[in-house]
Amino acid sequence: MRKTSRRMADGREIIYFDDTPPYPAREAVDTRPLPPADEQPTPQMRFDPLTGEWIAVAAARNDRTFLPAADQDPLSPTVPGGFPTEIAESDYDVVVFENRFPSFSPRATEPASAIDGDPLWPVRPASGRTEVVVFSSEAQGSFGSLSASRARTVIDAWADRTTALSEVPTVEHVFIFENRGREIGVTLPHPHGQIYAFPFVPPKMTTMLARAAAHTRETGRNLFRDVLDAERKAGTRVVASSAHWTAYVPAAARWPVEVHLAPNRDVADLPALTDEERDDLAVVYLDVLGRLDRYYPGVDTLPYISGVFQAPVTRDRDLFRLHLQVFSILRAPGKLKYLAGVESAMASWVNDTTPEQVAARLREVA
């Protein structure tokens, strides 16, 4: 694989990850008349004193591209005489670039302040980085539609970006994810995902770290290791396994369809994976996504959200263990799980099926 970094018309970085020899020079120039990114409004973070959480405020995102016509896909290659896209090259393998409408930005550098001058509501610049990961030059698809070799390239790109973003002084956590389906809110059918480099450790991660710390104090063991060992021992919720990975439906799954994929070796993040573990991840993850698409009769593409959960950049790395989570809000063909009042308002979850039933169905459709 070859990596090439270039600049877009407004100064944002774009990185080409080529896996198909002979590797092109990647010298195409983005000629769009875009205003400089350094001169655009930047996002900020506001502190919620009731929950202790930082809320990103990125008003420019309201203008982001929404369900464009097929000939105006911003993630397609730019062809001569065609619509100029975010990617100046006429073809590519895998591309990563800074989001034009970021939730977190390296250009957010304004001084800290407070809403209405009241220290109750601190404000900080939403520094960090928001990136788009384009899996393929194909107009439609998702990670699950990739070949194993291309999936491996994407995994290498994820690991590369995790390493690079972890070196940014303001970044505390790197989260990689993919949304699929209009039901999830996806506005571009082009196969792609995103990376958020947070300037703080997000709430769910904070909760998991607190639970892991308490478990270590009580038992002297790693919580994530114990969960994986317990799932493998029970076997009733294991969906797929290989030399290096185990996929299972968690015993306390909260979503209608939910699968976790964990390495069999204790690993903190993607960069720590060996070549063999990365190869195996591509195969097993594609297997799991294929099963998800066969889960409901008559549903060819299951809407889902998938995320790569990695250890934070600077704290509690010994407590955490790399794993992937993928879940769907589809509870039956044509029926979405809408969050009820107790779920939306109180984050108290109710699942409409049992994890054991879900796992059995996923084994059935292997």
List the catalytic residues.
192
Q: What is the per-residue DSSP string for 226-257?
A: HHHHHHHHH-TTEEEE-SSEEEE--TT--SSE
Does residue 136 contact residue 99 with C-beta atoms inside 8 Å?
no
Burial of 353 (0-12, 13-18, 19+ CB in 10 A): middle
In which element (H, E) is residue 291 found?
helix 275-293
Integer Cα distance of 178 and 300 in angstroms: 18
Handedness of CA 268, 269, 272, 273 (dihedral sign): positive
- CA of residue 125 relative to chain centroid, distance: 22
Best CA proximity match to 193, nearest among 240, 154, 236: 154
Half-sphere exposure of 309 (CA within 13 A, CB side): 23
